[in-house]
Structure 1
């Protein structure tokens, strides 16, 4: 089987400052349909990290440490949100299935490197309707993105994983703005692409595992992730 190339040399890997500018351009200047993403970028409320490899155990250990620090430093009393963005500048995929496969390999390694118990507010079974990924004891909704995604909104400059705390969605519900924000994002996504992402479902309607890669998964698709005690 032909392996996906990893294109960039280390000499050409962009700095964090360069990445921040490129992602600000992608989200704000290009009027990204996700108004929440626009909001955090405009406020500078994005914690962006760059990693040398995608899908490896070493990267998993680094990610767990960085997300633990992010969780420890999060202001849980504030109504302002902060997004954790993991960027992999040297990774490259020409197919969505190859990206999806390596995304789940990376998440499996993250789980196996994480010493904290699974967030009790969500299921650890990817077949359950209430599944959500847990890191550092907190539930996250993960958005996988890459330049060759079929969804325009997910065609980031580089392979990227956005880690969004489920707590943020619950906070929006308590503030009474969740449904309005959700509807606006879906309308803007439809205006951009002509349709909303067919994988999108509200939490509790079906497993969000199908949504992570951005690919339109087959009905018989089974999530490769396995929770370990």
Structure 2
């Protein structure tokens, strides 16, 4: 005998957050306004925005894997486009619609959760690690790699201790490591780095002690923007083997 039972209501489904939705455009505009502000220190991001090479991806939540495949595919396309036309400056900003109220430690944990998931997809697709960098997060030559291209990540969120790293939503900005090497080869890296440090000091009252040159200490310590001690251990582990 079939018994009629009441069907419990489904939980509300949060609408897809993407740049095709009209509600998402103000958030992208807010990020661009933040970068354009005189107090924003990163001259590289300003240059990318001015050149129209600052790309954006809107995603649901930093604590969800919902958009990880889409983010990874954008990273692969981004790397491919750079190899076809290796012009300075390029950045890919992934803006998440939540969660709200994250502490610095919570943001850091979720950032590395997303990084690990994205790296695992690179391994799953059988893509090589960029051989110009190390996959070991303890190495001073560490960088992430997607599609065979090395990336450096800058995290932004509302609760950052550094004013330059504050934004109304969680953001992960992916920058191509090769661009830093090109700047070094052109003799422009140190000048650009000093400009950023001076601007940051003017806003925050001090220079960011977490910033270090690639090859001096692991850049993994810089990604989230949180102040970490010498005992900090990066949670990332590359799963593609030791050949990297």
Summarize deviations over 1:148-207 as a string: whole Å, max 9, x none: 111100002210000000011111112211110000100110111011111111000001
Structure 2 residue aligned with 1:42, among 50, 57, 60?
Answer: 50
Counterparts of 2:50 and 2:29, CA distance in 1: 12
Give the structure-1-normalised TM-score. Answer: 0.90
Summarize deviations over 1:82-135 as a string: whole Å, max 9, x none: 211100023224310001011111111111111211111111111111111111
List aligned pairs for 1:1-229, cutoff 5 A: 10=15, 15-74=23-82, 76-114=84-122, 115=125, 116-229=127-240
Number of residues of Structure 1 aligned to a counterpart in Structure 2:
221
Counterparts of 1:78 and 1:94, CA distance in 2: 36
Gap runs ≥5 in structure 1: 1-8
SS of 1:19's equivalent in the other structure is helix
Q: Which moved more, 1:208-217 or 1:15-24?
A: 15-24
**Once superposed, what is the RMSD of the aligned Cα atoms?**
1.9
Counterparts of 2:118 and 2:85, CA distance in 1: 27
Q: Which moved more, 1:146-155 or 1:58-67?
A: 58-67
Gap runs ≥5 in structure 2: 1-13
Counterparts of 1:93 and 1:110, CA distance in 2: 24
The structure with the larger Rg is 2
Counterparts of 2:27 and 2:237, CA distance in 1: 32
| Preserved CA contact (<8 Å) 1:144 1:213 | yes
| Preserved CA contact (<8 Å) 1:16 1:50 | yes
